[in-house]
Structure formats: C-alpha cells, structure tokens
Amino acid sequence: MTKYMKSKLIDSYGRIAKKLRVSVTDKCNMRCGYCMPKNNTKWFDSTEVLTFEEIVRLSSIFANLGVDKIRLTGGEPLLRPSIENLIKSIANIQHIKNIGLTTNGLLLLDKVEALKSSGLDSVNISLDSFNEQRFRTITGINGLNKVLSSIQKAKDAGIDVKLNTVVVRGWNDDEVVEFANFARCTGITVRFIEFMPLDGTGIWRSDLVFSKKEMVEKIESKFGKIFAVSEQEISAPAKLYSFSDRVGTIGFIPSVTEPFCNQCDRIRLTSDGKFLTCLFDNPGYEIKSFLRGGASDEEISQYLVRYMTMKQEGVVSLIRINGLKPKLNLMHTIGG
C-alpha cells in the first residue's frame, strides 16, 4: 500500500473531508441574480477546463484519501456533453459510495434515463419560485414547466430528488409556505438556503438574508410546530425537519445566521483545476498544473493533504469580525 493511501484529508481543526464537490463547467444557461454575473462574464477557456480523464484521476486520488461521496456541479453540469460517461467512470472508482448531481433542471428531462443507468444516485434541483413571471425574473429565462417536469421524471425514475431553494428577502420569501406544502404533497425534500455572499452580481446585503428563524416562523404559522428529524447525518449542510403529522421533510441551510463550519466535511474541485477546502477559499490551490506537469498520484496526494491542513475555520470567522460582503467568491466558478 502506498503512503498516500494511508493518509486522510484532515485539517488543523480535526475535520475530515469525506464529500467532494466537482464543478465540471463554469457556464450556465440561467442568470440567477444571487449567483451569475449578468454582464461581461469571463468564462474559462476550454483548454483551462479539466478533461473527464483528469476529473476521474483526481476523483480516484480523493477516494484513496477517504472521500466516499462525489457531487457534480457547475455552473450547470448538464451543459457538459456526455456527462453520463463521466458518472459511469466515477461509479467504477473503489470506495465511492454515492454520486450526486446539482442542476437547475432545464436539461434534465431528456437525460434522466441516461444519468440513472450511468450510476447517478441523487439529484439536487434548484428552484426558487413556482410563479412563472417570478421564475423568469430570477433566472432570466422561461422554463418553470420544464423544471417541474424534470423533477417529476427524476423522482419517477427512482433517483433521490431534493429541491434547493435560495430564499431572498423581497424576492421569494412569500413562497416559503408553498414550498413547504410542496414537500408535504410530493414527498420530495425541500431545502431552504440562506442568501450567501457568493454572488457574481455583487448585490448581497445582510438585510436581504431571510433567516432560518424567519422561515420556520412562517412555516409553523401555517402547519404548526415542526420537529428535527431524529436520525440525520451530523455533518450534512441541511438540518432536516418534519411536521407534527410526520408528512413531508424540509431542510434548512442557514450558512449566514447559524453557520455549521465546525461540522464541515466537504471540499471542492473547480472546473479549471483548483482545490478549495471551503466555499470561501479564494483563489484556492492549483492542482491542474501538477496533473499536466507529470506529477504522480502520490505526489498529487501529498499536495492535497498539505493544502487540507491550511483549511481555515470557515465563514464563521468572517461573521465574527463582520467581514461578510458581496462577491467574496463566485458560486458559478466553484460549484454549489
């Protein structure tokens, strides 16, 4: 057994990385205001983006370092042609137990069967409004019905489906109850996400953050008391709740008002080959040059282990010093 297979990705706070988010492209077919720049977007050149072969090689190295769950993200990952081939290759990596995908759902409808057969286990679909006009205002396009059809088709195919809903004050906070009711009616878990300063447009402000506490108050005013699900993964970003009649599950990702950095077990690989130990790592640690420069798997592994020890406490440290501001990082380049 080589040395790198004995190592783990552990930081100076004792947190061990088990989940890897892999961004396969920075491009997206939506222009959500809380994420994508609206004008003058500088896309990565195609030569900068990791090939599928490079992603698979790195995924295998990460798996030997203890990662057992991989989620493909973007931008919009389904813009990457033949992504099902990448999923199939990752599914063959020893120690990988689960492969997920985060998507806006626009291109999912026609890809469900191929993704399922390639080995995809779960899909997180972004949806921020059930109102067609508001959906268009938030995303910049028409496509609500296509997303809703994709959600149903993925569920019918037996893929584990969750909804990701970013709640922004004055944008869609009045739909929180409707999303909770959707969870009750469909059996699909809806996860409410606080607006984070990872926006390409630079519009983030603290007063636009609609807090978990406020969401819970709205939901309980309609459905009564909600209760934390008794059995759930401690390190999961979303804390799950159910209703008094145990019908439906909702979750909250309160990254701004109740940060959970001390339990973080996630790391990220950007589409242009940078290793991020945190969503707020900027610019991250260059890995692609080692891949393309002839470094061995063991050498790359040693770099990753060393960089992991440099992981900072997280967004909680920025909150402590009142350091949150717009565009601390660009979500579309690092993946959700």
- In the chain, domain spans: 3-334
Please tell me the pTM assigned to this model: 0.94
**How would residue 2 be classed by pLDDT, with cut points 50, 70 and 90?**
very low
Mean pLDDT of the chain: 93
Query: Cis before residue 283, ω within 30 degrees of 0?
Result: yes
Give the pLDDT mean for 72-90.
97
In what helix (H) or strand (E) does residue 147 lie, and over which residues does it extend? helix 144-156
Q: Is the pLDDT of residue 225 over 80?
A: yes
What local confidence, expressed as pLDDT, does residue 336 receive?
A: 64
Looking at per-residue pLDDT, the higher value among 37 and 91 belongs to 91
**How would residue 40 be classed by pLDDT, with cut points 50, 70 and 90?**
low
Give the pLDDT mean for 279-295.
93
CATH assignment, 3-334: 3.20.20.70
- Say which residues have a Cβ less than 8 Å from residue 99's Cβ, sequence separation at least 6: 69, 70, 71, 72, 87, 90, 91, 119, 120, 121, 122
| Strand pairing category for 239-243 and 226-228 | antiparallel
222/180 Cα distance (integer angstroms): 10
**How would residue 154 be classed by pLDDT, with cut points 50, 70 and 90?**
very high
Is-contact 126 332, C-beta < 8 A? no
What local confidence, expressed as pLDDT, does residue 275 receive?
A: 97
What local confidence, expressed as pLDDT, does residue 114 receive?
A: 98
Give the pLDDT mean for 84-102.
98
Structure-token match 């939901």, residue found: 219
